[in-house]
Structure 1
Amino acid sequence: MLICLPPSEGKTRATEGGPVDLATLTSPSLDSQRETVLDALARISARPDATEILKVGSSLADEVARNTTLRTAPAAPATEVYTGVLYAAAGLGTLDDDAARRAAADVLVFSGLWGVVAPHDRIPAYRLSMGVDLPGVGRLATAWRPHLAEALDARAAGDVVVDCRSAAYLAAWKPRTTGTDATDWVAVRVVREHAGRRTVVSHNAKHTRGVLTGHLLRRDGVPPSSAEELLDATRELDGTVIGTEVGTGLSYRMIEATLHAATTRTAARTLEIVIS
């Protein structure tokens, strides 16, 4: 099992501790590209038009300015830096020893700056989306693609990839679904059922993907290694209260999980989770 997560948009700054050491991050083959992106980001973040280039509002100017000191800024485990709905629901920072070891081996967070990091990797908070066209590097998803393929294709071969990423991060690496090193690639989709209709949700989808991630790491037994085993593991949450609606305070639960076929030979299958 390999769980692929997007980073959180908001990130929590460490206030103490040593700086990032690229040599300690997962997938060391990415270090050269990490250096390239890190240097380019520092240069761009010092420019007066940095917020425009990085596609963020002027209210985030201070966060962008901090990109110029990432090599010396305090670093913390990714589980403490990445915050937000998905990460709060997954509870990656509160896993027991067995689940934490599983997370270290089976979870990757995709990043416009680092390529990928594992939950225990120590990084500083930064501001950079994979959707940015970074001067000196180019479109980040395109720039990262060959490096991530080299680093991840072998890891994913013959396993199931549980894909919780958004489109920008999906563009940086797609598992191979054909050939001798094929992967059982499954994208997680969440819909809400109300009055007989099913609609795509946003906040609740992030939360539900986080709940699924936490469940897959904490559950007893062997981790899933195929889409069918992933479906069985997900159905263990049938009837479980997933979370609480923002605004109304009403709880919602998972009522169904189904596996849909891929639309093409190179696309992902879809694990659809229905909440109500």
Structure 2
Amino acid sequence: MLIYLPPSEGKTPPRAADAAAPLDLESLVFPELRAERERVIEALIAVSQSPQAQKTLKVGASVMDEVQANLAVRSGPTAPAHELYTGVLFNALDAAGMDEAARERARRCVLIFSGLFGVTGFDDLLPTHRLSMGVTLAPSGQPGAPGRLSTFWRGAMGSVLDEHCAEELIVDCRSSTYATVHRPQPEQTLVVNNLTDADGRRTVVTHFAKHARGTLAGMLLRAEREPETIEDVAEIASAQWAVELRPAQGRTPHQLDLITV
């Protein structure tokens, strides 16, 4: 089993007392992507120094301190990805509350997609940064800039991830922005959805969907036996939600609907 997660816009910068050494690209999962990661880092630093940084990076004025942190991605302190990311999904996953068996499974099974690094592992040491997969990085005067990140990473990572996934069951908890970067074969992929049901009317609420996906990811990592099939995942999820499975059809993967009443 592999669990695909999005990153989190919410981050907790590494504390000086706890921080690890600066970024080491060779230590990240799939070190063969180093050249592509270098290209994105170089373009991000250039954009973050420009007067158009806020517009290009599609951020509000309240997070410009995070944009400034982009200037130090090579030299700033780092923390494990699961500690750096502290948004709704990662809070629900609750890595801090895992025992060692669950942590070991997370190291093997979790891949976190990233606008800056393409994809990272659960324990990969990352610096504070601000960069969404929906951004286009094309700083003036910089040949070889990556351009639209979703397109860039899809081309860079496709064969790498296809080989890594092989016959694995993929539990896909990504948001739509990150799901476009790599689409495993539909028959091996289970996309997780969360719906609220009020008086027979089902709706998607983004905040609750993030929480549900994080909760389910935590449940799968803590399960006594590692899930191997779609049915295994649905059975674990049924302890928390009403569940419905929809089989893959054509290019559409299997769907697991977690229904909150």
Shorter-chain TM-score bucket reads over 0.9
User: What is the rounded CA distance, in whole Å, between the counterparts of 1:162 and 1:138 in structure 2?
Assistant: 29
Q: TM-score, normalised by structure 1?
A: 0.88
Partner of 2:73 in structure 1? Answer: 70
Structure 1 residues 222-261: aligned runs within 5 Å = 223-235=226-238, 237=239, 240=240, 254=241, 256-261=242-247
User: What is the rounded CA distance, in whole Å, between the counterparts of 1:94 and 1:121 in structure 2?
Assistant: 18
Partner of 1:104 in structure 2? Answer: 107
Residue pair 2:80, 2:126 contacting (<8 A) in 1 also: yes
- For residues 167-199 of structure 1, the C-alpha deviation after alignment (integer angstroms, 9 at most, x for no partner) is 11111111123xxxxx51111010011122221
2:175 to 162, 166, 171: 166
Tell me, what secondary structure is at the counterpart of 1:120?
Answer: coil
Residue pair 1:186, 1:270 contacting (<8 A) in 2 also: yes
Tell me, what secondary structure is at the counterpart of 1:192?
Answer: strand
1:148 equivalent to 2:157? Answer yes
Report deviation, 1:155.
Answer: 2.1
1:268 to 240, 253, 256: 253
Equivalent AA in structure 2 for residue 15 of structure 1:
R
Sequence identity (%): 42
CA RMSD, aligned part only? 1.3
User: What is the rounded CA distance, in whole Å, between the counterparts of 1:151 and 1:82 in structure 2?
Assistant: 24
Alpha-carbon spacing, 1:118–1:215, altered in 2? closer, same or farther (3 Å):
same
How many residues were matched structurally?
Answer: 252
Partner of 1:10 in structure 2? Answer: 10
Partner of 1:126 in structure 2? Answer: 129
Structure 1 residues 214-225: aligned runs within 5 Å = 214-221=218-225, 223-225=226-228
Report deviation, 1:110.
Answer: 0.3
Residue pair 1:25, 1:122 contacting (<8 A) in 2 also: yes
Report deviation, 1:261.
Answer: 2.3
Residue pair 1:159, 1:226 contacting (<8 A) in 2 also: no
Tell me, what secondary structure is at the counterpart of 1:86?
Answer: helix
- For residues 41-97 of structure 1, the C-alpha deviation after alignment (integer angstroms, 9 at most, x for no partner) is 011100011110111112222211221111111000111100111111101233111
Report deviation, 1:225.
Answer: 2.5
User: What is the rounded CA distance, in whole Å, between the counterparts of 1:144 and 1:96 in structure 2?
Assistant: 33
- For residues 124-161 of structure 1, the C-alpha deviation after alignment (integer angstroms, 9 at most, x for no partner) is 11000000011121110110012222221122221211
User: What is the rounded CA distance, in whole Å, between the counterparts of 1:204 and 1:38 in structure 2?
Assistant: 32
Partner of 1:35 in structure 2? Answer: 38
User: What is the rounded CA distance, in whole Å, between the counterparts of 2:190 and 2:69 in structure 1?
Assistant: 36
User: What is the rounded CA distance, in whole Å, between the counterparts of 2:175 and 2:82 in structure 1?
Assistant: 19
Structure with more relative contact order (C-alpha pairs < 8 Å, separation 6 or more): 2
Uncovered stretches (5+) of structure 2, i.e. residues with no partner: 139-144
User: What is the rounded CA distance, in whole Å, between the counterparts of 2:149 and 2:52 in structure 1?
Assistant: 18
User: What is the rounded CA distance, in whole Å, between the counterparts of 1:98 and 1:148 in structure 2?
Assistant: 29
Partner of 1:244 in structure 2? Answer: none
Tell me, what secondary structure is at the counterpart of 1:162?
Answer: strand
Uncovered stretches (5+) of structure 1, i.e. residues with no partner: 178-182, 241-253
Residue pair 1:111, 1:129 contacting (<8 A) in 2 also: yes
Tell me, what secondary structure is at the counterpart of 2:3?
Answer: strand
Residue pair 2:185, 2:253 contacting (<8 A) in 1 also: no
Structure 1 ranges of 4+ moved more than 3 A: none
Tell me, what secondary structure is at the counterpart of 2:233?
Answer: helix
Which has the higher mean CA deviation after the structures are superposed, 223-232 or 99-108?
223-232
User: What is the rounded CA distance, in whole Å, between the counterparts of 2:85 and 2:260 in structure 1?
Assistant: 25
User: What is the rounded CA distance, in whole Å, between the counterparts of 1:94 and 1:37 in structure 2?
Assistant: 33
Residue pair 1:112, 1:129 contacting (<8 A) in 2 also: yes
Which has the higher mean CA deviation after the structures are superposed, 7-16 or 127-136?
7-16
